[in-house]
Amino acid sequence: MSETTPQIDIVPDAATAADYAAIQLIAALHGNERPTLGLATGATMTPLYARLVAAYGKRGVSFRDATSFNLDEYVGVRPDSRGSFHAYMRAHLFDHVDLPPGRAHIPNGMAADIAAEAARYEANIKAAGGIDLQLLGIGANGHIGFNEPGSAFSSRTREIRLDDATRRANAAHFPHAAVPERAITMGIATILEARWIVLLATGAEKADAVACMMEGPLTTDCPASALRLHRNVQVICDAAAAGKLTRAMAGERKRAR
C-alpha cells in the first residue's frame, strides 16, 4: 500500500471545524441508501453531534436507514455508567435522532470473553458491508480509536492497555473511580478498510499529534500516521491544532476559511 497525503482543511476555530465535519456526515447520510457510519467519542465530537441533532430536528437529515459502529469502549465499565461510551453516545446523539437502537453498535466492555467480543464485533462490521464513513479524533499521543503508540498497522479489533497519558486525559469522566486501564477498540487495519475517513482535530494540545500524523515518519509510534496509507482521508482541524505544521503545508493552510 503506497503512502499518500491526506486532504487537510484548516479553519479558524473549533466551531467552524465542527460545522465542516457535520457537513461530511450529513453528506454520507444523504449519499448512501443504507449508510454505515463509524463513530467516535470525546470532547472534540460533542459539538459535531450537537450539529447533527440540530439538523435532524430541522428535518435536514435522518438516521432511519443508517447503521453505526463505535470505535471503542472501556473494559469493565457498565453501559449505564457515566464514563462509558454507551452513555456518551446516548446523551449526545442516539437519544435525539431516529437511528434504530438495534443498528447502533458499540463494543461490549462487560463481555465475559473480550477476545470473543472483539472477533464478534469485527465480523459484524464485515457483515454490514464495511464502513462508508469513519469518523476519527486523534489523541495527543497520536492514537486513533484506542490504538495507542506501538499498535501494529495490521491490528484488528482487540483489547488494549491504555497509556497513562490517555487515562489522565479521560479522568474527568470518572470523578469517583479510577479510569479503566483497558479498552476494546477497532484496530488500525479495521479503520483503514473504511471507504472514507474524516478526522476532526481541535485545540493546541493536538498540534504535535497532527504534525506527526501529516509530516512525521510513517511509524507505529504515531498510530495516526497510518492514515497516509488510505486514499480517501479528510483531515479537518482548527488553526490551533494545525499550529505545528511546517512550511511544507503552506499551500494547504491557504484553504483556511
The fraction of the chain above a pLDDT of 90, given in percent, is: 90
Q: Which residues contact 21 (CB under 8 A, 6 or more apart)?
A: 48, 135, 198, 200, 236
Q: Give the other-Cβ count within 10 Å of 40's Cβ.
A: 23
Q: Does domain 7-226 fall into CATH 3.40.50.1360?
A: yes
Q: What confidence score (pLDDT) does residue 177 get?
A: 85
User: What whole-number distance in Å separates Cα of residue 96 and Cα of residue 54?
Assistant: 9
- Classify the phi-psi angles of 6: left when phi > 0, otherwise alpha if psi is within -120 to 50, otherwise beta: beta
Q: What is the pLDDT of residues 135-163, one digit of tens each?
A: 999 999 999 999 999 999 999 999 999 99
Spell out the domain ranges in the chain: 7-226
Which strands, in side-by-side order, build the sheet including 72-74? 72-74, 182-185, 158-161
Q: Does the pLDDT of residue 98 top 50, yes or no?
A: yes
The catalytic site residues sit at 72, 141, 143, 148
